[in-house]
């Protein structure tokens, strides 16, 4: 695609809060955005009222954003295609989109998650479902970024990742705004793992907050959670330094402490005694950490990596482990060095 400065047409697939926020951001830069909306009724409402009432209420949609329900109409003849659906739907949705993607289009993943059955990252899922010509034209956007704050133009910094430096710089230029700063990174797998695992740790810190265990406990969970992320990432071939950047510790801090964090909210309610089924019924948007706890545990088993916090979250969510028992077991593990290999 080169580095020409024309205003590309962008297809954004997925009109959740994050997809809508990015559509608005890019629309405000003058790009023509076609936003695919899964729910036909919501799509009609968005066209008429210029608002995503379900996922981003109160935010006016840019005049440069056109909500569409037809996948073919959304994707065809677009220069850039952004995949923004929940991680467990990326495979099926992008498989539907694939026949309509222009041959020279750039594809960007902004979904966070690990596919449970295959244990693939979202960029690996895209590589699996899209024709080979797109395999070298994939980018990943991740980092600490609540959709509502981006829409309010609050200062935000995120990462765009590609093994191709020129491609990453091109994506950097597409998304960068005075309030939305983009850094590049060539550790694609590390960036994606950080964006996934932090949701599991956020459930743990939310449980801690719900139980009123205090700030000391939260700090311990976050720092030892980061150690787990880096340990698994290293075993998977990622650079440890990636996890000390925006897509790692940055996203971890935001998701574990921010009131807008869906995963932390789930944890708080669990800590307060609510059942998971009740919590999920109340939520319109997806808390990715619930499904991805399973994926992370499977990745740990596959790579022979010990993940004690993630394991306790898994046992509590899916094996009826009591919270007090889980905490006792976590605190009572064998004593060891803080940093392995010293």
Contact, 81 vs 129, CB < 8 A?
Answer: no
CA 168 – CA 4 distance, rounded (Å): 15
Contact, 206 vs 270, CB < 8 A?
Answer: yes
Q: What is the DSSP string of 134-157?
A: GTTSEEEEESS--HHHHHTT--EE
For residue 65, the Cα-to-chain-centroid distance in whole angstroms is: 22
With H, G, I as helix, E, B as strand and everything else as coil, classify residue 174. Answer: helix
- The residue from 112, 198, 269, 312 that is catalytic is 198
- Measured in degrees and rounded to the nearest 5, phi and psi for residue 101 equal -75, 130
- What's the angle, vertex CA 219, arms to CA 217 and CA 225, rounded to 5? 100
| Spatial CA neighbour of 122 closest among 91, 160, 95 | 91
* Active-site annotation holds for 198: yes
Phi-psi group of 304: left, alpha or beta (phi > 0 → left; psi -120 to 50 → alpha; rest → beta): left
CA 204 – CA 206 distance, rounded (Å): 5
List, by residue number, the catalytic residues: 198
């Amino acid at each position: 695609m080169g580095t020409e400065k024309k205003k590309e047409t962008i297809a954004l697939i997925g009109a959740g809060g994050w997809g809508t926020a990015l559509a608005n951001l890019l629309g405000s830069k003058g790009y023509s955005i076609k936003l695919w909306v899964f729910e036909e009724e919501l799509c009609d409402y968005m066209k008429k009222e210029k608002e995503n009432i379900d996922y981003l209420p109160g935010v006016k949609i840019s005049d440069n954003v056109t909500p569409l329900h037809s996948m073919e109409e959304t994707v065809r003849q677009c220069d850039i295609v952004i995949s923004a659906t929940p991680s467990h739907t990326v495979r099926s949705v992008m498989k539907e989109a694939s026949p309509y993607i222009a041959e020279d289009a750039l594809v960007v993943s902004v979904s966070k998650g690990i596919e449970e059955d295959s244990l693939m990252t979202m960029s690996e899922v895209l590589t699996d479902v899209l024709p080979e010509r797109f395999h070298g034209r994939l980018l990943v956007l991740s980092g600490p970024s609540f959709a509502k704050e981006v829409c309010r133009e609050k200062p935000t910094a995120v990462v765009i990742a590609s093994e191709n430096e020129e491609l990453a710089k091109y994506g950097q230029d597409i998304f960068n705004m005075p309030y939305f700063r983009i850094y590049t990174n060539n550790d694609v797998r590390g960036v994606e793992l950080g964006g996934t695992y932090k949701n599991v740790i956020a459930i743990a810190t939310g449980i801690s907050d719900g139980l009123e265990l205090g700030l000391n406990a939260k700090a311990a969970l976050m720092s030892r959670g980061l150690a787990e992320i880096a340990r698994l990432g290293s075993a998977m071939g990622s650079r440890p330094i990636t996890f000390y950047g925006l897509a790692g510790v940055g996203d971890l801090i935001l998701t574990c402490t921010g009131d807008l964090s869906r995963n932390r909210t789930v944890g708080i309610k669990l800590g307060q005694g609510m059942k998971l089924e009740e919590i999920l019924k109340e939520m319109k948007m997806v808390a990715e950490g619930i499904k991805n706890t399973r994926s992370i545990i499977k990745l740990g088993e596959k790579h022979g990596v010990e993940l004690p916090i993630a394991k306790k979250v898994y046992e509590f969510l899916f094996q009826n482990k009591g919270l007090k028992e889980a905490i006792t077991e976590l605190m009572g593990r064998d004593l060891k060095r803080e940093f392995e290999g010293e």
